[in-house]
Each structure stands twice: as C-alpha cells, then as structure tokens.
Structure 1
Amino acid sequence: MTLTELRYLVAVARERHFGRAAEACHVSQPTLSVAIKKLEEELDVKIFERSSGEITVTPLGQELVRQAQVVIEQAAQMKDIAKRGRDPLAGPLRLGVIYTIGPYLLPELVRQVIDRTPQMPLLLQENFTVKLLEMLRNGELDCAILAEPFPDAGLAQAALYDEPFRIAVPAQHPLAAREAISAEALKQETLLLLGNGHCFRDHVLEVCPEFARFASGAEGIQRSFEGSSLETIKHMVAAGMGITVVPELSVPQEVPRHIRYLHFEAPIPTRRVVLVWRRSFTRYEAIAALRNAVMACELPGVARING
C-alpha cells in the first residue's frame, strides 16, 4: 500500500462519495476507485459498503481509516522534522478560526506573522467550531483559534485573551443615551441572534437565557430574528430592527452614526479565546510564534492572558 492510497481512503471516508473524494484528491474517479479496490484486496477486508448513491464505512473500515490518518500525519511529521532541522518555522501553518473571530483578528494577525515569520505563511480556514475540531482531528488543520467552551477533543491549548461583550442598539433607541445597561434590561427588547452553529449564539443565550425559548421554532419570530454574520446583524440593528450582543473586537473604531455600542453593567459577560492544536503536532516553535503574533496585535478592549 502507498501513502496516496491511504489519502484516497481517508477522502472517501470523509466525503462518503467516490466522486467528491476524487475531486478533493484532484484525480479521476476511476483512478480513485481502482486504488480503493486494490487496497481492499491487499488487506483482504471490506472497507466500504456501497449502495445506490451512498457509501458507508464498515466497523473494521473505521479502524483502518483512523490508522490511515495516523500514518499520513506521521509521514508529514517526517518532513516537518527535516524542515525543523533547517528552520523550525519553515513552511505554511494551517490555521482555522471561527466566524466571530476571524474578520476582527485576522487582518492584523496576518500582518504580524508576515513581519515576524515571513517563512511561515498562514493557510486560513474560517468555519464553525464543530467543523474546525473535525478538521483538526483529521489532520486538515494544524491549529485553530476558538472560544471556550467547546467539546473536549483531547487537544493541547493555550489561552490568548478574555473578550468582553457589548450591546449594539439603534442610535434612536431609548437605551442609546446610556453608558451601560444590565442584561436584565434586555428582556423586553427584540434580540437579533446569529444562526445555529455559531458558538457566539450560545454565548449570547447564556447572557440572556430568557430568549432561548424564542431561538427556535416559529412561535417567537416576532421577538427573535437570525442573521448569517455579525456584520449582517449590525446592519439590521442600524435599521432599527432590534438590538444585539457583540464581542468587543467587532466594535469598529469609528462607530457609524446609526448604531451605538453600550457596555454591560457588572458582572460583564466575556468569552475566553484560545489557541488549540493536536498534541501530536511537532512544530512547537510555530505554535509559539503564532501565539506571540496574536499577543502583538492591538486587541483593544480585551484582556491578554500571559504565560
């Protein structure tokens, strides 16, 4: 068997479709199918159950797929070890970031990395927490920047900063003249939420638990609307459709005239942002360099966590 065949194996298990797996591997479907058949014959086991339009992995096949992922990662580590002998930071770093952090952290972080470690370009992926964790486990990412809490995947992690939340209200709203308001004061307001899958949605519902009953189902549609991104929701706030809760770094330095950003009264809700990576990942210097680059960013209004 070859590493190429093992990569095909992992791709089919991930995509559950030979055509999509072939496309992901940049080969023709017949080439991939022949390689998988050869692998099954060599191992004398059935790895995939094939039916009309659907591929499932057999129980024994799941074990083989996990082992193939380990072998692929270890083979990549051999290259990493060789590179580290010449330059510990040489080569791209594949970084995942959740949607509610990426637009506000990445512009300066990328500049910092280019200035500090130009030999280590960032290959970036924005996605939901669950998807990024899956990509980390599969070896598709080297590390990710997430907000706690998230499912424990046995990952190593380093805290980056604690980020307070702010309240965005229309400029003409009765609350707009206040400097700070309590979470209790939001109970009577129309709250605009991110859609399902965004961990920040869950953070907001922790701050305002009374809105959880409106967050799913049509019954509470008059009280709770959903948007696909924080920027979309901000436009809805500016148009007077309701209020929302946002992370500190998303507050622009020059506030638009149709929206106001208010502070929470104590206790101020926050989220902890962390850098996570697989414990088997060997480029420790790259992780340290990335963390140092984050700490060198301005990050107005957040509390950096040193050490």
Structure 2
Amino acid sequence: MTLTELRYIVAVARERHFGRAAEACFVSQPTLSVAVKKLEDELDVKIFERGGAEVAVTPLGEEIVRQAQVVLDQAAAIKEIAKRGKDPLAGPLRLGVIYTVAPYLLPELVKHAIEQLPQMPLMLHENFTVKLLEMLRTGELDCAIMAEPFPDTGLAIAPLYDEPFVVAVPRTHPLARRDRITPEEIKSETMLLLGTGHCFRDHVLQVCPEFARLSNNAEGIRKSFEGSSLETIKHMVASGMGITVVPQMSVPKEPQPHVAYVPFASPPPSRRVVLAWRRSFTRYEAIAALRNCVYACDLPGVTRLTE
C-alpha cells in the first residue's frame, strides 16, 4: 500500500470515473486502474463497483476512502512540519495572553504581525495565568504573554516590559484633583477588584494588602466581582461605586468624562510582562520575531525590556 494508491482511490471516489480521476492525478487511466486493482487485491476487498456510466463506491470502500483521506492529510501535515523546520516563521503560532493584557496589546500586536510575519498567523487564546501554564505544559499553546510572578514550571522566559499601575477614581472624587497618590491614601477607599483567578487582583492586593484582610467586612473592599473585566470595573468606578487600580496600558489615550486616572507617587507599583514558552519548543526564531512585533507596538508609559 502506497500514498500514491491512496491518492488514486480518493480521486476515483471523488470523480466517480476512472478517466477523470486519472486526469486529476496527471497519470494515464491504465496506470491508475492497475494501481487501484492492486490495492483491492492487497486488501482483499472491492472498493469500487465498476460498470455503467459512473463508478460506485462500495459501503466498505466508503470507509476505506475516508481513512485514506485521513492518511493523506496526515502525510501532508508531516511535510508542513518539515517545512516549518526549514523556515521557523512558516505556519501558525499558538499564542496565549492573560485577560488583563490582551485587550490593550493585541490590537496593535496583531497589526504588526500581519505586516511583518504574514506567513506566521497568530492563533490567539485569552485565559487566566494558571490555565495558560497548563496549556503550555500540554502543548496546546506554543507561547504565552503573562505577568510575573507565576509558579516556576521550567519555562523559558523573555521579559517584554515593566508596566506601572495607576489609580482610577470617579471624576467627582477628591483624589481626582491630585497629581500623585500614595498607596496609603487609598486604604480607606472602597476598592473594586477583579475576581479570584485574575493575577492582576493579586498584584493590587500586594500594593494594598489590607484589602485582602477586609474583603469580607463592611469596611474597605465591598465585594470581589468574580469574572469581571477591567473595563467592567472601570464602568463601576464611573458610576461612583468605588476606585480601582489598573495597569498603565489600559488607560484610555483620551480623557474620560467620568473617570480620572491618577499616577502613583514614585516609585509606582508595577508588574513585569513576559513571554514564556516551553524549552523544548524548537521555533525560537518565531519567538524572537513575535517579541520584535511587541516592541514595534506603541507601549505608552511602560519600560521596554530588551535584554
């Protein structure tokens, strides 16, 4: 049994005619017919019913043809793997991104990737850090953009940028008139946080650990909004429900009518955003190219890390 013979039976099943199948395979009809008969003899089954204007596929032949197509697809996939080995930038790159980075980085990152790496489309997946780490481990993702710290899983890591945090407050709030805010000054405020599972929630609690202690009390943090996004939390700030802490890149470029964004006093709390991948992943050139696309993005207010 050869791939050529499998290709012939798929063609005959598609064309329902030996002559047209031979033309589609660029061989003579006798060559194709002999090869199909040889395969039937080897398998000791009849794949096609011959006679009449059209060739019919037997019920067992239908199953064989379907499996032949699977084999041909897998053989083609092997060629694609070999092709990517010769050109690491050829073929999709499966990229995971945490929820609090994706909405602010991906629009421009995808634009640069399309311009610079048209042969390497990005297959994107948003999720929590713990889920992205699991998908990296199982090979469902090639790489992921996450914020440190996260458990040491033996991944290779390239730092992308350090991103400071800022405070989002209602425009009518007294803090909206400040040039800078210290962590001490927000301890008495009602703090709105992302739900459990978001690493950014943990980052904010590192800035103001007392909110974790007060999370179930009437004072301080009123409620943890499970599954909420940063944009939803901002809307809640706009409605006057409290204040929140957000990463710099989530700050809108234009002033907002109901929310003011006030920087922290120096040195501001921040997070380090990194690109991580399995050490066994062989397409390092693809990783380097993706990193360059990130650096090509406009990253207002962050410190790029190029080492």
Aligning the two structures, in what range does the TM-score lie when normalised by the shorter sequence? 0.7 to 0.9
User: 1:83 aligns to what?
Assistant: 84
1:88 aligned counterpart, secondary structure: coil
Deviation per residue, 1:255-303 (Å, 9 max, x gap): 2110100000122100000000000001111000000000000000000
For the 8 Å contact 1:80–1:282, the answer to whether it is kept is: no
Give the deviation of 1:140 after TM superposition: 0.2
Deviation per residue, 1:203-261 (Å, 9 max, x gap): 0000001101133x4x3477333331100000000001000000000000012110100
1:118 aligned counterpart, secondary structure: coil
Question: What does residue range 26-65 of structure 1 map to in structure 2 within 5 Å?
Answer: none
User: 1:32 aligns to what?
Assistant: none
Structure 2 CA distance for aligned equivalents of residues 80 and 296 of structure 1: 28
Structure 1 CA distance for aligned equivalents of residues 155 and 112 of structure 2: 25
RMSD: 1.5
Q: Which residue identity is paired with 1:170?
A: P
Question: What does residue range 167-182 of structure 1 map to in structure 2 within 5 Å?
Answer: 167-182=167-182
Q: Which residue identity is paired with 1:82?
A: K
User: 1:206 aligns to what?
Assistant: 206
The list of structure 1 runs, each at least 4 consecutive aligned residues, that deviate by more than 4 angstroms after superposition, is 76-79
Name the CA shift for 1:88/1:171 in 2 (closer, same or farther; >3 Å).
Answer: same
Deviation per residue, 1:62-105 (Å, 9 max, x gap): xxxxxxxxxxxxxx8985343231x3201000000000000000
2:192 aligned counterpart, secondary structure: strand
User: 1:143 aligns to what?
Assistant: 143
Question: What does residue range 1-307 of structure 1 map to in structure 2 within 5 Å?
Answer: 79-85=80-86, 87-215=87-215, 217=216, 219-220=217-218, 223-227=221-225, 228-307=228-307
Structure 2 CA distance for aligned equivalents of residues 200 and 84 of structure 1: 37
Which stretches in structure 2 are left out of the alignment for 5+ residues? 1-76
- What TM-score, normalized to structure 1? 0.72
User: 2:67 aligns to what?
Assistant: none
2:152 aligned counterpart, secondary structure: coil
Structure 1 CA distance for aligned equivalents of residues 128 and 302 of structure 2: 22
Structure 1 CA distance for aligned equivalents of residues 281 and 107 of structure 2: 25
Name the CA shift for 1:144/1:78 in 2 (closer, same or farther; >3 Å).
Answer: farther
Which stretches in structure 1 are left out of the alignment for 5+ residues? 1-75
CA radius of gyration, larger in: 2
- Aligned identity (percent) is 68
For the 8 Å contact 1:77–1:282, the answer to whether it is kept is: no
Structure 2 CA distance for aligned equivalents of residues 78 and 302 of structure 1: 42
